[in-house]
Structure 1
Amino acid sequence: MRLPAIALRISRLLHALVLALQGRERLAGLVIERGRIRFAEFRAAVKRSAGTAPATRVDEGAVLFSKDAVQNGVLTQPQALIEALRSLLERGTPRPLGTANVILSLPLVRLVGQAVTIPQRLGRDEAEGALRLAAERILPFPLTEAYVDWEPLAIDDAHEHENSAAVHDTQSFLVVAAHRDDIDPYVHACEAAGLRPVAVEPITSSIARGLKPHPGATYIAVVQEDALLAAGLDASGNVRFLQHRKIPMMTDITARSTQERAERIVAELTSLIRFFRAEVKGPEYGLIVDGILDETTLRDLRVMANSLGVPLWIEEKAHELSRSAARGTALRAALPRSEDRSVSLMAVGTEEAYATRQSAFFLHAALRLIFGAAFIALLFQLGTLAFLGVVERSVRETAEQTSAPSPETLSVFEETERFNAAIRRVTSLLEGTTMPPGIALALMTSAPPGIAVERIAIDAAAEREKIRVDLSVRANRSSNLTAERDVLIQRFTDDPLTIPSDIFLTQGAQIPFVFSFTLRPNFQP
């Protein structure tokens, strides 16, 4: 992982920790359209009213992906969306997405939304049952296959009644329902990409929230290649009617297909305006249109606006309503969850989802802290062991270099060991053997004239209780050798020693003659 990516992750974690300690959560608004993903994030929500400034923007960015991945509001290629979301987290333009917690704004087609008025006196359970009955009445598919939710409309923004007491006796809600099979793939794709959706809302609701309030009823329409997403807003900006419809694809650009598409768009918008006029009384601001508009569609829209008496506003800035959707979703994300009463088309409500995410955040933070501390402790221990190993090895090498004897000293040690071994061997062999006293002196003095004693070798190790003597002499004549032999015999005969064996005379290389004989101390014949 590159260093900037690591720094970005650390920055996000610290920011999320600060917000969590403050009891808030960092959320971004995420708009998924056909071929594009756009996000926006604000620091804090500002109550939208005339003359107020919008919230301060923190981040905004977008990425493109395959248009074939979303068709008629249905996600057909989840993997393409997953890769695009991961790209948005890392390489969004101009900024990457800075948080994993998002509120999704989707271009759902199989969706209905309508304002419903119920008596004020109904309890919570009764009101919920009445709203579900209203949703079931307007749904084109079974209620069990839908995500249904509603948001309250302020009493001042309800229908204008002549009797003000009747206004306060009723309460109005915008009931919205969409097919589960259209929403779940988006949620699963976001989770697979590492995001955590907190709420899901229609893109037209996001656009309405992101628009500047207008003095009068406003109609908005986003024309996509294969769908028309329209909504009706009252003078206070509350969405009171949603109308999402399929329209012919712009695949075959011919005069006939273009005309058919334009007629379908005009018919849907005419139906929306007439229905809204019947439900909501009061002045109108006009119809705001954005999206893929060809000349035929623009011409037919102008004709329709003139016939209905509705001002027509064509957004000159490209994708301006798409940007409004991102801003509107981000404004909702900046609200405290306890104050968010907007529609959420998920298995759990927005506030419940927020509480779950907040608890999960603290749990994950605690686990990361524990594992991080354990990892640091392990690294410290390993580093300490490695340092001690290096020190020990260095001390050992130094000691070996300091105490190692020289080769000359080692040779002396070896000779000394051999010498000591010889002494031990001679000592063991001489145990019990009595060396005749003065034997060496006797041998030296036993030489007659004409005999010179060169060396005397006495070996007491030849055999136990025996002493071998080698007497090396030089003689002028052989008669002197005979005399020496006789002297030896006589010398040791007078002593209490005897010579049991003969005296052998040999001639050596360096010393001419050597007398060899064996003495047996204390021998009794």
Structure 2
Amino acid sequence: MNIDVRNLTQKLFLFLRVRSPIGALELADVALRFSYFDGKLWQLKSVRLPPGTIEGGKIKNRGQLLEALKTLRKQIPDPIPKRGRAGVILVASSLNLYSQVFSLPFIEGEGFDKAVELNMQMVSPIEVGRAYSGWQVVGEEDEGLRIQVLGAFVESAAIDEVNKALFEAGFLGIVAEPRALALARLLREAALGFDSKRPALLLHLDSSGLTFLIVRGGQLYFEYSNLWRDVADEKQQITFPVFEAAITRSLHQVTTFYSQHWQDQLEEIFLSANNLIPQITKIINENFPLKVKEIKLGSSQAITPEWFVAVGAGLRGLKPRWEDKEISLLGLSAEEEFQNEQLAHFLRFWRVAVPSVLALFLAVFFGADLVLTKAQEDLEAKLLLQKGGSEMEVIGAFETQAKEFNRSVALIRSAESSIKHKTPLLEVLTGLVAENGVLLRRISFDDINNQMVLLGVAGSEDNIKAFKKALETNAMFQGIDLPFTEIKKEGGGFSFSVSFGVTL
């Protein structure tokens, strides 16, 4: 019997509120699409956008977008809670996102991160102060002497506007990623017949146009798009000869780019297109020496190509946050908001669960004591009668047992009154974290010595100092120990460690 340990672990974490369920939300020109895997099937929900809501990569009618998001939020099924905000991996397909792969020599330590950041600034198509960017390592070359890095960029104002609308509608953006990254993940993790050891092309056709991807080692290396508005005639129509020419011309450009950059042979192309698979296959077979494969997912559930982006992003939502090292195009404030929302969700559950569980245990212990005491009384009474003891001896035995029973009840009530709930401590700590711009990574608590150790990250050293001062001025915390030598530069902020005593 095969047991899916990972699936069971995820269900346990969801039940205990250790991690919140995370779905995916694709923001396309014509529709919003939400996906979430419940352990058996993909839950897929969509809402069409009125024409003119999003045009040319910009939100034209914020009111219509917000109304559509609210409608979608009402459709989302359990276990994503109706209260609070639903965490999502955002794929802003309708916005202008840019990606590029560059190569760097291998450097140990922090020097590599600094070299990446410098190159990101050099290749960014958007002014650094107006952009959100992210990067991830996608491969190696020259036997590990050079590292290949994928960088992505988007205008910060555009993402902030979308993220604000999500928040108002009851969603919480956790990360934002390019559509191409979601499609490459779908191909790598869910497509039948795909071998990550061989390079491949992916052609995705949707309402916006044609998108070509180069995938090597299962990772995205290059993206090229040809939009319908650039192909259509003055009447916004596309004839089949024009369609055929667009595919042929675009695919020729992509294959030429590949041959100029890599040596290994390109042999296959995967297609994602609803009703045009036969026509596109015929065009490619007549013009290119590539084996054409339609993308089919290894699932009993029928999922059509318009859902491939949302499902590809949904696969990312299944990973624990601490394992996710892929690109994110949201600012630090969005990450902090998600961590605070997750902590609040955890506390809401356990504030009710802890007293309830303790009360249940006390009831069980009390009931067991009653049953065992009654059984003991019956046995001892029978023994006394069998030995010919007098009626007074039996009564005396019952009186002694009654005193022991009353003493047990008193002990149980004393134990119940001595329980100390730690919820107020967590609520105070959560408030201090939120007020001082600190993001919690790990908390450990020593019940015996009432000592707590906290690992966190903040946007600046001033935030860390303000957090330490807040701890020192609160009567619940003593002996604050925050070595400034432990404050380290990390990405866009500073990590630190602090320990202190707690008064419960």
TM-score by length of 1: 0.54
Q: How far 1:344 sits from its partner (Å)? A: 0.7
Q: Residues of 1 paired with 2:11 and 2:169: CA distance?
A: 19
Q: Is the 8 A contact 1:220 1:230 kept in 2?
A: yes
Q: How far 1:127 sits from its partner (Å)? A: 2.5
Q: How far 1:22 sits from its partner (Å)? A: 5.3
Partner of residue 178 from structure 1, selected from 129, 154, 163: 154
Q: How far 1:140 sits from its partner (Å)? A: 3.0
List alignment gaps of at least 5 residues for structure 2: 1-9, 354-504
Q: Residues of 2 paired with 1:273 and 1:109: CA distance?
A: 26
Q: Residues of 1 paired with 2:148 and 2:336: CA distance?
A: 23
Q: Residues of 2 paired with 1:282 and 1:356: CA distance?
A: 47
Aligned-partner SS, 1:222: strand
Q: Given residue 271 of structure 1, which amino acid in structure 2 is its aligned partner?
A: Q
Q: Residues of 2 paired with 1:23 and 1:261: CA distance?
A: 50
Q: Is the 8 A contact 1:69 1:76 kept in 2?
A: yes
Aligned-partner SS, 2:90: strand
Q: How far 1:201 sits from its partner (Å)? A: 0.7
Partner of residue 255 from structure 2, selected from 257, 273, 294: 273
Matched, 1:29 2:1: no
Q: Residues of 2 paired with 1:282 and 1:32: CA distance?
A: 35
Inter-CA distance 62–42: structure 2 relative to 1 (3 Å threshold): same
Matched, 1:197 2:179: no
Inter-CA distance 172–259: structure 2 relative to 1 (3 Å threshold): same
Aligned-partner SS, 1:150: strand
Q: Given residue 33 of structure 1, which amino acid in structure 2 is its aligned partner?
A: A
Note the 1:195-344 alignment, pairs <5 A. Answer: 195-211=171-187, 212=191, 214-215=194-195, 216-234=198-216, 236-248=217-229, 263-291=245-273, 298=279, 302-303=282-283, 306-313=286-293, 320-344=304-328
Q: Residues of 2 paired with 1:78 and 1:203: CA distance?
A: 22
Inter-CA distance 316–329: structure 2 relative to 1 (3 Å threshold): closer
Q: How far 1:200 sits from its partner (Å)? A: 0.5
Q: Is the 8 A contact 1:108 1:182 kept in 2?
A: no
Q: Which has the larger radius of gyration?
A: 1
Q: Given residue 169 of structure 2, which amino acid in structure 1 is its aligned partner?
A: A
Q: Is the 8 A contact 1:108 1:244 kept in 2?
A: no
Q: Given residue 25 of structure 1, which amino acid in structure 2 is its aligned partner?
A: S
Q: Please list the CA deviations of residues 82-101 of structure 1 after superposition, one character each: whole Å capped at 9, or x if unmatched.
A: 22222122236xx5893511
Aligned-partner SS, 1:275: helix
Q: Is the 8 A contact 2:101 2:149 kept in 1?
A: yes
Q: Is the 8 A contact 2:25 2:33 kept in 1?
A: yes
Q: Please list the CA deviations of residues 401-420 of structure 1 after superposition, one character each: whole Å capped at 9, or x if unmatched.
A: xxxxxxxxxxxxxxxxxxxx
Inter-CA distance 259–137: structure 2 relative to 1 (3 Å threshold): farther
Inter-CA distance 81–96: structure 2 relative to 1 (3 Å threshold): farther
Q: Is the 8 A contact 2:106 2:145 kept in 1?
A: yes
Q: Residues of 1 paired with 2:333 and 2:316: CA distance?
A: 14
Q: Please list the CA deviations of residues 220-246 of structure 1 after superposition, one character each: whole Å capped at 9, or x if unmatched.
A: 233344444332211x32111233454
Q: Given residue 117 of structure 1, which amino acid in structure 2 is its aligned partner?
A: S
Inter-CA distance 199–368: structure 2 relative to 1 (3 Å threshold): farther
Aligned-partner SS, 2:25: strand
Q: Is the 8 A contact 1:199 1:349 kept in 2?
A: no
Q: Residues of 1 paired with 2:336 and 2:112: CA distance?
A: 20
Q: Please list the CA deviations of residues 351-385 of structure 1 after superposition, one character each: whole Å capped at 9, or x if unmatched.
A: 6565343234346668999xxxxxxxxxxxxxxxx
Inter-CA distance 80–324: structure 2 relative to 1 (3 Å threshold): same
Q: Is the 8 A contact 1:149 1:176 kept in 2?
A: yes
Q: Is the 8 A contact 1:78 1:186 kept in 2?
A: no
Inter-CA distance 327–168: structure 2 relative to 1 (3 Å threshold): same
Q: Please list the CA deviations of residues 61-105 of structure 1 after superposition, one character each: whole Å capped at 9, or x if unmatched.
A: 22222242222333222222222222122236xx58935111111
Q: Please list the CA deviations of residues 461-494 of structure 1 after superposition, one character each: whole Å capped at 9, or x if unmatched.
A: xxxxxxxxxxxxxxxxxxxxxxxxxxxxxxxxxx
Q: Residues of 2 paired with 1:303 and 1:58: CA distance?
A: 33
Aligned-partner SS, 2:166: helix
Inter-CA distance 364–244: structure 2 relative to 1 (3 Å threshold): farther
TM-score by length of 2: 0.56
Inter-CA distance 194–302: structure 2 relative to 1 (3 Å threshold): same
Q: Is the 8 A contact 1:88 1:96 kept in 2?
A: no
Q: Given residue 248 of structure 1, which amino acid in structure 2 is its aligned partner?
A: R
Q: Residues of 1 paired with 2:152 and 2:146: CA distance?
A: 19
Q: Residues of 1 paired with 2:71 and 2:104: CA distance?
A: 46
Q: Is the 8 A contact 1:340 1:351 kept in 2?
A: no
Note the 1:2-17 alignment, pairs <5 A. Answer: none
Matched, 1:74 2:58: yes
Q: Residues of 2 paired with 1:32 and 1:97: CA distance?
A: 22
Aligned-partner SS, 2:330: coil
Residue of structure 1 in register with 2:114 after alignment: 129
Aligned-partner SS, 1:61: strand
Aligned-partner SS, 2:332: coil
Cα RMSD, aligned residues only: 3.9
Q: Residues of 2 paired with 1:96 and 1:283: CA distance?
A: 46
Q: Residues of 1 paired with 2:78 and 2:70: CA distance?
A: 10
Q: How far 1:199 sits from its partner (Å)? A: 0.5
Inter-CA distance 146–264: structure 2 relative to 1 (3 Å threshold): farther
